[in-house]
Amino acid sequence: MGEINSSKKTLCYIGLGSNVGNRYEHILQALELLQDTDGVKMLRVSALEETKPVGPPQPDYLNGVAAIETTLAPLDLLDRLQAIEKQLGREHIEKWGPRTIDLDILYYGDETITHPRLTVPHPEIAQREFVQRELKQAGYHG
């Protein structure tokens, strides 16, 4: 018998990063657009902190993590995050390169996802101390 899964709520953690232009403003706008999304409830946001770039030489980042509850399926959430990135004027130039806004799904409940478009948990969490710190501030306890 079919279950109605469309209303299933999942606790997710979203990583936010910006290192071009008004970084604070980009992150605030991304949070507002995320909060205004149907099927997304904003629960908590970490402090925003300045971090040294990982990857090629580029300006410092402002990073943070948001905890959300969502009824969106993982790829629908990714679509929405990418639409927000686009709306905020992000152009994809190089991997790990500078960006107005980068939105990553760090965790989607306790799911492990291996898909051409989506790897969850985000593979860089273990290497990025600032992400781990911000996750805790956003309420993640492992």
Question: With respect to ligand A4P, which residue has the nearer C-beta, 6 or 127?
Answer: 127
**DSSP state for residue 48 in the 8-state scheme:** P
Provide the binding-site residues for ligand A4P, judged by CB under 6 A. 17, 51-55, 61, 63, 78, 92, 95-96, 102, 104-105, 117-120, 122, 124
Residues 6+ positions from 141 with CB-CB distance below 8 Å: none
Question: Nearest distance from residue 17's CB to ligand A4P, in Å?
Answer: 3
Question: Nearest distance from residue 102's CB to Mg ion, in Å?
Answer: 5
Question: With respect to ligand A4P, which residue has the nearer C-beta, 46 or 51?
Answer: 51
Which of the listed partners (Mg ion, ligand A4P, none) does 45 bind, with a CB threshold of 5 to 8 Å by partner kind? none
Q: How far is it, in rounded angstroms, from Cα 79 to Cα 64? A: 20
Question: Nearest distance from residue 74's CB to ligand A4P, in Å?
Answer: 9
Provide the binding-site residues for Mg ion, judged by CB under 5 A. 102, 104
Give the DSSP H or E segment for 101.
Answer: none
Question: With respect to ligand A4P, which residue has the nearer C-beta, 44 or 86?
Answer: 86
Note the helical H segments in 1-142.
Answer: 23-35, 74-87, 129-137
Residues designated catalytic: 90, 99, 102, 104
Give the DSSP H or E segment for 106.
Answer: strand 102-108
Question: Nearest distance from residue 26's CB to ligand A4P, in Å?
Answer: 12
Q: Angle 36-41-46 (CA atoms, 0-180°, nearest 5)?
A: 100
Contact call for residues 10 and 69 (beta carbons, < 8 A): yes
Question: With respect to ligand A4P, which residue has the nearer C-beta, 20 or 42?
Answer: 20
